[in-house]
Amino acid sequence: MNVADPAALLARYARNLPRYTSYPTAAQFTDAVGPDDARQWLRAVRPGDPVSLYLHVPFCDTLCRFCGCNTAVLRSADARAAYAALLIEELRRVVELIGTGHPVSHLQWGGGTPTTLPVGTLRQVMQTIRSSFAVLPDAETSIEIDPRHLPAHYPAVLRELGFNRASLGVQDIDPAVQEACGRIQSLEQTRACIDMLRNEGIGSINIDLIYGLPRQTVAGVRDTATAIAALAPDRLAVFGYAHVPWKQKRQNLMPTGQLPDPAARFAQRAAIHEALCDAGYMPIGLDHYSRPDDRMATAAQSGTLHRNFQGYTTDPAEVLIGVGASAISSFPQGLTQNAISSAAYARLIGATRDCLPVVRGVRRTPDDRLRAAIIERLMCDMAIDLGDVIHHHDLPRDHFRDEIRALAHLEADGFVAISGQRLHIPEKGRPFLRHVAAVFDRHLDTDRPQRHASGV
């Protein structure tokens, strides 16, 4: 991307914004939504409707300083097994409300590091899922993996349990960056982990990269992207580092004085983008890349791509059920989140036999649902015809007049093209997708910018 004066440009767009993995975003969650709402929304799921499942394991063997996820070090195998028993109990309570046999179109384990669970307990949870739900033959069944701590016997277990996709954190291969971030992981470790998984038939591999970390350079991130592309992952997710020390105190351990400035971050993102495109990967939305033959690329080209708390997905299910500490569920009526810490989660599960561990959330109004659909299509398709939206929902012709006017500065900079009521984000506008989406966000509180991460 060629920008004549990137510093001036970025100064105009220097604001913190949501990632828009949901709408309303988690910043609108309050304790006004709780277990009773979750129970009501689960009961409203119609028999036979497909659902997605997300299971959160908030444990790691070591903590990375950059991480903003809900996770902690827990070394006791017994404690990890006890947590898995809580997952099984929460699943039981969910199934009591929605009934058995719902098709599962996507199943994802995240964290933390799910493979910290003992094999026997992971097997028990998966057996519970398969006995309570109908996991579809073509369902994407995915698990997050730390290549530094994957036991040698685990890939065979994953194959046995039906996993067909794995997501590996890499972030950066430069030893100086790794030292700053507290995550030492050689390229050889990553390659060996991928080989182990592929040898067991787990053919779909995703790799996460991050730019904007301390000590990163444009040349360094380009080298990382080129080296990782040579390992031929099927997908990559490329995130800008979110420095949120008010949320994750561990980030204060990093040499924050060596963080790249906005212009350097912008250049790093462009370098990774160029390296991955040169390697044959197709850009997907804001921050994902896939091989052209991957079904994520197919979904992007056909307009059936979706976005949820795990990022971009091919999952068409309207209901996502989150299980475990801090897990978020999504329903047409609203969103809910479980207790954040594993201790609080355990207390709520143990309180009564039928209590759901939900502590907060947000209800969706009809306007929220309308705007959620617009934001999702913008984030996925980089285009939308507001005229079609107006016609479909029988709205006044000028319903989005203010939003179109608010896009004028983005249009002037060439980051969005407006033709009547049709919006199209060209390639140079890809990094500013969140800025376009934010125009349609009626909840965005510009007086509380620290609730979100940098928009570029």
Residue 358's Cα: distance from chain center in Å? 20
User: Are 276 and 226 within 8 A, CB to CB?
Assistant: no
In terms of average pLDDT, the best of 10-14, 201-205, 452-456 is 201-205
For residues 70-90, average pLDDT: 87
**Higher confidence at residue 263 or residue 63?**
263
What does the pLDDT read at residue 1? 43
What does the pLDDT read at residue 451? 62
Flag whether pLDDT at 213 surpasses 70: yes
Judged by average pLDDT, the poorest of 52-56, 133-137, 252-256, 271-275 is 252-256
Q: How many whole angstroms separate alpha carbon 440 and alpha carbon 404? A: 9
Q: Residue 101 corresponds to which amino acid?
A: G
CATH topology of domain 366-454: Arc Repressor Mutant, subunit A (1.10.10)
Q: Which of 113, 251, 249 is nearest to 180 (CA)?
A: 251
- CA count, 13 A, side-chain hemisphere, 259: 18
Q: What is the band of 4 on the pLDDT scale with cuts at 50, 70, 90?
A: low
**Higher confidence at residue 446 or residue 156?**
156
What does the pLDDT read at residue 363? 98
Distant-in-sequence, close-in-space partners of 293: CB < 8 Å, separation ≥ 6: none
Q: Which residues are annotated as a binding site?
A: 54, 60, 64, 66-68, 111-113, 144, 171, 183, 208, 242, 328
Alpha carbon distances (Å) from 231 to 206, 218, 226, 297, 417: 11, 21, 9, 19, 37
**Residue spans in the chain of domains classed CATH 1.10.10.920:** 366-454
pLDDT in tens, 172-184: 999 999 999 989 9
**Residue whose tokens read 């440009």:** 9
Judged by average pLDDT, the poorest of 40-44, 240-244, 279-283, 320-324 is 240-244
Q: In percent, how much of the chain has pLDDT > 70?
A: 96
**Higher confidence at residue 99 or residue 250?**
99
Q: In percent, how much of the chain has pLDDT > 90?
A: 81
Sheet containing 383-385: order of strands: 383-385, 422-424, 417-419
Q: How many whole angstroms separate alpha carbon 82 and alpha carbon 87? A: 9
Flag whether pLDDT at 446 surpasses 70: no
| SS3 call for 133 | strand
What does the pLDDT read at residue 194? 97
**Higher confidence at residue 191 or residue 67?**
191
**Higher confidence at residue 451 or residue 34?**
34
Q: Which residues are annotated as a binding site for [4Fe-4S] cluster?
A: 60, 64, 67
pLDDT in tens, 350-403: 988 888 999 999 999 999 999 999 999 999 999 999 999 999 999 999 999 999
Q: Residue 239 corresponds to which amino acid?
A: F
For residues 409-425, average pLDDT: 96
pTM for the structure as a whole: 0.93
Q: How many whole angstroms separate alpha carbon 361 and alpha carbon 31? A: 7
What does the pLDDT read at residue 220? 97
Mean pLDDT of the chain: 92
> What kind of architecture, by CATH, is found in domain 24-363?
Alpha-Beta Horseshoe (3.80)
What does the pLDDT read at residue 245? 77
Query: What angle is formed at CA 328 by the lines to CA 326 and CA 332, rounded to 5 degrees?
Result: 160
For residues 407-419, average pLDDT: 95
Q: Which residues are annotated as a binding site for S-adenosyl-L-methionine?
A: 54, 66-68, 111-113, 144, 171, 183, 208, 242, 328
Q: How many whole angstroms separate alpha carbon 202 and alpha carbon 141? A: 10
Q: Which of 440, 417, 428, 307 is nearest to 371 (CA)?
A: 440
